[in-house]
Structure formats: structure tokens, C-alpha cells
Amino acid sequence: MTDRDPQPDGGHPAGATDPTYAEWRQHLWEDQVLLGQRCHDCGHATAAPKAACAQCGSRSIERIDLPPEGEVYARTRIEIAPAEFDGPYTVALVDLGEARVLARLTGEREIGESVTLTDVYEGDLGPAPVFG
């Protein structure tokens, strides 16, 4: 254990995210759960946990489970993919109500259509949520 690991009492070192990057990946990979955060000071919620609130800078933020349902906000069909991926596939911003998340999207979906977290894409760069 190094001083950068989460502390044994479940606390996190200053400047770390709660959940940590490793915990965020693990919850998605093993439990198919998207972890997020909500700010105690301004109420801002995010699907991209950080060390402080992106809207007000507060470090008083709590870990939340995000809902597995949402609506398609915007889509792009990637035909020419980065080298680690095999195209084509669709990437979307999915609106989960309080927060948006970037995800893979299966099937032909319109903006505004309801979608559910159905799977986790396990690529070389880590897990990514799949909605359909």
C-alpha cells in the first residue's frame, strides 16, 4: 500500500476522487452500476466524479448511484475509429436526469428516445457503459 491508495477507513487522500478511478471502473465492470456525485453546496450532480464540484468548486460532495435509465441527448456513428477500437459503432451522450454520461449506444435510436444501461463494453482502455 502506498500513501496514494484509499485509506483503510474508507477515506480518500486530498485531491483524490470519491469514488476513485479504480472504484468507478470496478462498479461499472462488476456490478454494472454507474457511480456519480452530488454537491452538498450547489446540488450539481455529475456522472464524472472529481475531487471537487465542477460548478462551484466545493469539496463537500457525496457519492451517488446513477439511474440505469435515461434519454438519448446526442449521437455520432464512428466509422473511422481510434487504433484501439474496431468501428463502426455509435457513441452517445445519454441524459440520466440529473447528469449526462458518454456511452456506447446499440441499435438505431433517435434523440429523446428512452434507453437503458444494458451492458458494459470492455475495451483495452477500460470499461464503458452501453445503453440500448
Partner 1 sequence: MHQPHVVGAGMTRFAAHDRPLAELFGEAAVSALDDASLGTDAIEAFYLGNAMGGQIENASHLAPQLASHIGLAGIPCQRFEDACATSSNAFKHAVQAVESGRHDAVLVGGVERCTPETGLDTAEMTTQFATAMHELYEQPVGLSFPGVFGLLTDRHMHEYGTTEEQLAEVAVKNHFHGSLNPDAQHGREITVEEVLDSPVVASPFRLYDCCPFSDGASAVVVANESVAETARDQGADEPIAVQGVGHATDVVPIADKVDPGATQAARDAAEQAYDAAGIGPGDVDVVELHDCFTGAEILATEALGFFEAGEGGPAAAEGRTRLGGELPVNPSGGLKAKGHPIGATGTAQIVELVTQLRGAAGERQVEDAQVGLAHNLGGDTATTLVSVLEAGA
Q: Is 83 near partner 1 (CB under 8 A)?
A: yes
Cβ 57 to Zn ion, closest distance in Å? 7
Among 25, 38, 59, 63, binds partner 1 (CB under 8 A): 25
99 Cβ partners below 8 Å, 6+ apart?
36, 45, 46, 47, 66
Cβ 76 to partner 1, closest distance in Å? 3
Q: Is 51 near partner 1 (CB under 8 A)?
A: no
Cα three-residue angle 91-76-68, rounded to 5 degrees = 35
Beta strands, E only, 35-125: 35-39, 45-46, 61-65, 69-78, 89-95, 100-105, 114-123
Task: Give yes or no for a contact between 45 and 70, defined as CB atoms under 8 angstroms apart.
Answer: no
Closest to partner 1 by CB, 8 vs 15, is 15
Q: Is 45 near Zn ion (CB under 5 A)?
A: no
Q: Is 44 near Zn ion (CB under 5 A)?
A: yes
Task: Give yes or no for a contact between 39 and 53, defined as CB atoms under 8 angstroms apart.
Answer: yes
Q: Which stretch binds partner 1 (CB under 8 A): 1-9, 63-71, 119-127?
A: 119-127
**Contact footprint for partner 1 (CB under 8 A):** 21, 24-25, 46-48, 54, 73-85, 87, 89, 91-93, 99-104, 111, 121, 123, 125-128
